[in-house]
Amino acid sequence: MEGRSKTKRKSRARKETDGVIKAPLYSKAGTEKKELALNKEIFGGPVNQRLLNLVERGYSAALRSGTASTKTRGEVRGGGRKPWKQKGTGRARHGSRRSPIWRGGGTVFGPRPRDYSVPLSEGMKKKALISALSLRAREKNILCLEDTQLAKPKTKEFVKILTALPLARKRTLCVVEELHPVLKRATRNLSGILKVEPARELNAYQVLRWPKLLIEEKALPVIEARLLEIKEEK
């Protein structure tokens, strides 16, 4: 009985501590300053996997250019004259060299230019972003950074910051308050391992594509201002 009561107390204590969602705040030197309390409505919401799948499909479909095109027999050049007479040759009858069964002829049911985009409402996009952020917070893959200001637009300067942080060499999405020209120039050669995105343009597709999430401390209020509008509209 005593063992059961102890386990119950431990589970209650865990539930109380789990109510506050925290993320470590690091300096550019890689030292952990403190733990930031994240907004529970944004980083502690339910993870709607069905909605995430729909939104990921919608964003990826919108990236398709949809310019693949083939020519039908009416668009292929040539074929104005009958290849040979209808009867007497012993060969099959044909009326045009542009027939789909001829080499160099038209294509039947080939791809045509089309729009692959899937309509997504603004509410779906914002709720999917909350689900994606909550998923990363649940996985303990969110880190916060004091600031991302650099003195010079040098790639090695930002690489020093990345190597000092416990990112485990994983592909990282860095969310900043504003994407300044110096930071943009310093990180443009790191496209394979890092993507820098302003907080006002953050979406669920980006959060799902990049395993680690590095958020600038000043970017947190921008994210909250964007996503808490749903609650106010209701």
Domain presence at residue 212? yes
221 lies in a domain? yes
> Do both 106 and 203 map to the same domain?
no
Give the pLDDT of the chain (234 residues) as one tens digit per residue: 445 555 544 444 444 345 688 999 999 888 898 899 999 999 999 999 999 999 999 999 999 999 999 999 999 998 888 999 999 999 999 999 999 999 999 999 999 999 999 889 999 999 999 999 999 999 999 999 998 989 889 999 999 999 999 887 889 999 999 999 999 999 999 988 999 999 999 999 999 999 999 999 999 999 999 888 644 444
The SS3 assignment for 88 reads: coil
Q: Which domain holds residue 161?
A: 2-64+120-233
Residue 93 carries which DSSP code? P
- Over its C-alpha atoms, the chain yields an Rg (Å, rounded) of 28
- 58 shares its domain with 74: no
Tell me the sheet residues that pair with 198. 176
Torsion of CA 160, 162, 166, 171, to 10 degrees: -150
Same domain, 97 and 40: no
Q: Give how many domains the chain has, as a whole number.
A: 2
Q: Is 115 a domain residue?
A: no
Residues 6+ apart with CB under 8 A from 160: 28
**Whether 13 and 74 share a structural domain:** no
75 with 127, same domain?
no
pTM, 2 dp: 0.77
State residue 234's pLDDT score: 44
Evaluated on CA atoms 91, 92, 96, 97, the torsion sign reads negative
